[in-house]
Structure 1
Amino acid sequence: MYVADSRSTPATAAARDLGPGRRSAVAPTVIALGTVSLVTDVSSEMVTAVLPLYLVAGLGLSPLGFGLLDGVYNGFSALVRLVGGHLADRGGRHKTVAALGYGLSALCKPLLLLAGSLPAIGAVLAADRTGKGLRTAPRDALISLASDEESRGRAFGVHRAMDTAGALIGPLVAFLILRQAADGYDAVFTVSFCVAAIGVLVLLLFVPSRPRPLTAPAPDGPPRASLKAALGLLRTPDVRRLALCAFLLGLATISDSFVFLLLQRRLGVSDQWFALLPIGTAASFLLLAVPLGRLADRVGRGRMFLGGHLALLLVYGALLSGWRSPALPFVVLALHGAFYAATDGVLMAAAAGRVPAELRSSGLALIQTGQALARFGCSIAFGAAWTAWGDRWATGAATALLAVCGAAAFALRPTGHDDSIPGPATAPPTATASEDTPV
């Protein structure tokens, strides 16, 4: 299978033009996409911050009902990611598909005002996650294609930090709206739609339409973008091991909403303050995303990815313990943010170096789909366990499962000198460019 030589990508060619000292500069495309994600996350996290409380306290859903909705929230995203990646790779329409996804999610925000039943809310959330599924892989492909291999972890770290800045602002805006507005939830959903529309405009105006073509195509031509070709990437040992690792660990990753609901129960946090809990996770993620991304470039992205799940295991342990110190929420939320900083962008940076540019969106979507489907199952199972046996038993089961899955992922750790993915370092055949001077 053809894999482009990282030394001859457009990003590194541009780095040569910039001269010494500029090679690791973050590309303008990454900054533009980071701005889009920042604005969009302000919108989405406004809703996410109040949604658990709105559904459980406002509409009276059981933990099982909420687990089903939360599973839909993540599961529909998984179902359309491969489709979004495939559409983006065909003709290089990364921006078009991403804009479609961002626009669909924006339109769903005001529909929450009209949905008052479980089926209606489920349909709106499914449409919203469909938009997320369409946009995620094309966006990450644009980031990877605009960045050279050596600093790709840093580029994803910068993007995730900007994205998380929005996640930090969103719950705070929701908290202020709930305190000031008479119809708090309606006001949150309305403002969220307006902010999301701004994000779509930024994407359309400032993000390039498509990445530049490779400087050196394969001798027999680049692989044709298709769903079959994307699934064929699993025949590559590195990609297969990375996908399996992400899937296994996703099986034991409970959703953020459950983490916040567990914290509320442990500490007796009032409904008024609930929307502030996501800010702790977002603040930790924001502070650590770039440093851990750069560290992953040095020590290995596979090691960093596995280490992030160790932080998640500590989160579960803290929630399961009888510790009721005032420091508990700070410890839990700091570790929760560290988990995301060490895994989210790092996983995509690891995957991007193992798939050809012509199948970049499809390849990233393949990894993301397996992970999202695993988390879909985890949300439903955790909600059912909570309903049947209580939150402590459910948390204990999730802790044990994460330990087992973590051990299995550790068994797939790199055995060679390159552990940028959790599997043996296998050097695929590369196409040598006519200009392949190292930078």
Structure 2
Amino acid sequence: MYISISDRKGGQQDQAGAGPASVHPAFRLSPVIIWLGVVSMMTDISSESVAAILPLYVTGYLGLSTIAFGVIDGINQGASAIVRIGAGWVSDRTGRPKYVAAAGYGLSMLVRAGFLVAGGFWALAGIVTGDRIGKGIRTAPRDAMIAAEAQPEYLARSFGIHRMLDNIGAAAGPLIAFLVLLLIPNGFSTVFGVSLAFAVIGVAVLLLVVPDRLQRRRQHPGRSRPVVSWNLLRWSRLREPGLARPMAAAGLLGVLTIGDGFIYLLLQHRESFAIQWFPLLFVGTNAAFLLFAVPVGRIADRWGRVPVFLAGHGALLACYLLAGLPTAGIPATIGCLLLLGLFYAATDGVLAALVSQLAPPERLGTALGTAQTVVAISRMAAASGFGVLWFAAGPGMAVAIATALLAAAIAGAALLFRGSTAAVPAS
């Protein structure tokens, strides 16, 4: 069914200076954001059902080392960096973000079929690389569509609602993996088949339901499209006021974000529960993200996105502390999952809202792609480095070192944000 988008009246009053700055229009959610959330939901069921079994599949079923998993998880975190800026630039240049995003969703769908036949490190690394390149192609154009459809005063809330729908899928995927493994011990191939089916549904919804257009407020009279430049990676192209410092802070914090898979392996190593229960750790984190996404987005819009972004990394720091305890039990494990979900709720959509607040509309996709690239590369380094550290020093010492470094990085990021225009609340 075609979803029509009605014009918003008064949405630009505060921006243009007409009317009191303290009066905001009522919050209205565009159906396009809802449908993009449904696409992300289907895609996350697909990707997270595999992600929930991948740590045990690699280290247990295939018998590979934590270094091998660290490399694969690093690819999972950072391979998308190869194309993120380029995909955002193409989206800006063509004005057709839907089809750029569809190319990314379609690539992930096609390579996901490879899980059904892969059985070694290099095959898995190739499949994960292709899947993450697809993610890199789709993310910036999709976020640009969300930013274009959202009211400027409610950017973080709109991204939070999209992320909430996204994380319904992120919670359902591991739950499906859990049920499959409960019914079929070592039924990894069945999980891979289910994953492919949901990827197909997500692509179909995007192509058939989401309209291929941007809101008219993105169009600025007299402003031309970006000039073609072969040097897409030049930092000076994106040195908008206040944008460099948030990206540097995100990169600094990202290099200390070790990845969910390692945190869950730490919990499994400590508690020694059966492998069938492992996917429920992913369910717990994503359920917490689902719980926190919209309230945290509202807080970020009202009180400022930078404090919420930094507080989210404080939650991650507390998660590391709980995961690193030698003995803790079920309450500490549940607390760890809640803190990890809170971390994602306070950082993922909030960072996108920060960049959308600062970047000019004609380069929004490129700016979002750049921010996502910085985070992806830094998290790739974090995953690979932590895998080596675990192998060399053991899990307890590895997480202790990561915790200490993250505490220092939060303090450094706070200094980077000081004086940035991003630190000013949108209101």
Same fold flag (TM > 0.5): yes
Match of residue 378, structure 2, among 374, 378, 399: 374
**Is the CA contact 2:259–2:383 (under 8 Å) kept in the aligned structure 1?**
yes
Paired residue type of 1:16 = G
Paired residue type of 1:150 = E
In structure 2, the CA distance between the partners of 1:313 and 1:183, relative to structure 1 (3 Å rule), is closer
* Runs of 4 or more consecutive aligned structure 1 residues displaced over 6 Å after TM superposition: 17-22
Match of residue 133, structure 2, among 130, 133, 136: 130
Paired residue type of 2:382 = C
Is residue 242 from structure 1 mapped to residue 246 from structure 2 by the alignment? yes
Displacement of 1:237: 3.9
Query: Which sits farther off after the overlay, 47-56 or 82-91?
Result: 82-91
For 2:88, the equivalent position in structure 1 comes to: 85
For 2:357, the equivalent position in structure 1 comes to: 353
| CA distances 1:379-424 after superposition (whole Å, capped 9, x unpaired) | 1100000011101111011111111111110112344786258xxx
> In structure 2, how many angstroms separate the alpha carbons of the residues matched to 1:305 and 1:233?
25
Displacement of 1:210: 2.6
Match of residue 188, structure 1, among 188, 191, 206: 191
For 1:274, the equivalent position in structure 2 comes to: 278
| CA distances 1:347-372 after superposition (whole Å, capped 9, x unpaired) | 00110011122211111010110111
Displacement of 1:218: 6.1
**Equivalenced residues, count:** 413
Is residue 342 from structure 1 mapped to residue 350 from structure 2 by the alignment? no
Displacement of 1:98: 0.6
Paired residue type of 2:265 = L
**Is the CA contact 2:305–2:423 (under 8 Å) kept in the aligned structure 1?**
yes
Displacement of 1:266: 1.3
In structure 2, the CA distance between the partners of 1:180 and 1:220, relative to structure 1 (3 Å rule), is closer
For 2:68, the equivalent position in structure 1 comes to: 65
Paired residue type of 1:54 = Y
> In structure 2, how many angstroms separate the alpha carbons of the residues matched to 1:227 and 1:414?
33
The DSSP-based 3-state class of the residue aligned with 2:243 is helix
Correspondence 1:134-213 to 2 at 5 A: 134-181=137-184, 184-213=187-216
For 2:236, the equivalent position in structure 1 comes to: 232
Match of residue 391, structure 2, among 387, 390, 400: 387
> In structure 1, how many angstroms separate the alpha carbons of the residues matched to 2:11 and 2:236?
35
In structure 2, the CA distance between the partners of 1:105 and 1:420, relative to structure 1 (3 Å rule), is farther
> In structure 2, how many angstroms separate the alpha carbons of the residues matched to 1:37 and 1:215?
23
| CA distances 1:253-281 after superposition (whole Å, capped 9, x unpaired) | 01110111111111112111111111110
| CA distances 1:164-220 after superposition (whole Å, capped 9, x unpaired) | 000111111111111223661111001110111001011011112131344662656
> In structure 2, how many angstroms separate the alpha carbons of the residues matched to 1:418 and 1:161?
24
In structure 2, the CA distance between the partners of 1:91 and 1:272, relative to structure 1 (3 Å rule), is same
**Is the CA contact 1:86–1:226 (under 8 Å) kept in the aligned structure 2?**
no
The DSSP-based 3-state class of the residue aligned with 1:327 is helix
The DSSP-based 3-state class of the residue aligned with 1:14 is coil
Gaps of 5+ in 2: 14-22
For 1:262, the equivalent position in structure 2 comes to: 266
Is residue 292 from structure 1 mapped to residue 296 from structure 2 by the alignment? yes
In structure 2, the CA distance between the partners of 1:139 and 1:226, relative to structure 1 (3 Å rule), is farther
> In structure 1, how many angstroms separate the alpha carbons of the residues matched to 2:421 and 2:377?
31
| CA distances 1:83-130 after superposition (whole Å, capped 9, x unpaired) | 211121121120001111111111122201211111111111100001
Query: Which sits farther off after the overlay, 327-336 or 18-27?
Result: 18-27
| CA distances 1:55-103 after superposition (whole Å, capped 9, x unpaired) | 1101111001100111111221111111211121121120001111111
| CA distances 1:204-245 after superposition (whole Å, capped 9, x unpaired) | 111121313446626564543646467334423411011101
Query: Which sits farther off after the overlay, 283-292 or 325-334?
Result: 325-334
What TM-score does the superposition give when structure 1 sets the normalisation length? Answer: 0.89
| CA distances 1:279-328 after superposition (whole Å, capped 9, x unpaired) | 11011100000000011000100111011000000011111223413201
**Is the CA contact 1:302–1:414 (under 8 Å) kept in the aligned structure 2?**
no
In structure 2, the CA distance between the partners of 1:17 and 1:391, relative to structure 1 (3 Å rule), is closer
What TM-score does the superposition give when structure 2 sets the normalisation length? Answer: 0.91
Query: Which sits farther off after the overlay, 381-390 or 66-75?
Result: 66-75
> In structure 2, how many angstroms separate the alpha carbons of the residues matched to 1:24 and 1:43?
31
Paired residue type of 2:276 = Q
The DSSP-based 3-state class of the residue aligned with 2:174 is helix
For 1:26, the equivalent position in structure 2 comes to: 29
In structure 2, the CA distance between the partners of 1:228 and 1:300, relative to structure 1 (3 Å rule), is farther
Paired residue type of 2:140 = A
In structure 2, the CA distance between the partners of 1:18 and 1:377, relative to structure 1 (3 Å rule), is closer
**Is the CA contact 1:89–1:225 (under 8 Å) kept in the aligned structure 2?**
no
Aligned Cα RMSD in Å? 2.4
For 1:318, the equivalent position in structure 2 comes to: 322
The DSSP-based 3-state class of the residue aligned with 1:404 is helix
Q: Percent identity?
A: 43
Paired residue type of 2:411 = A
**Is the CA contact 1:81–1:368 (under 8 Å) kept in the aligned structure 2?**
yes
Displacement of 1:149: 1.3
**Is the CA contact 1:352–1:364 (under 8 Å) kept in the aligned structure 2?**
yes
The DSSP-based 3-state class of the residue aligned with 1:32 is helix
Paired residue type of 2:8 = A
For 1:411, the equivalent position in structure 2 comes to: 415
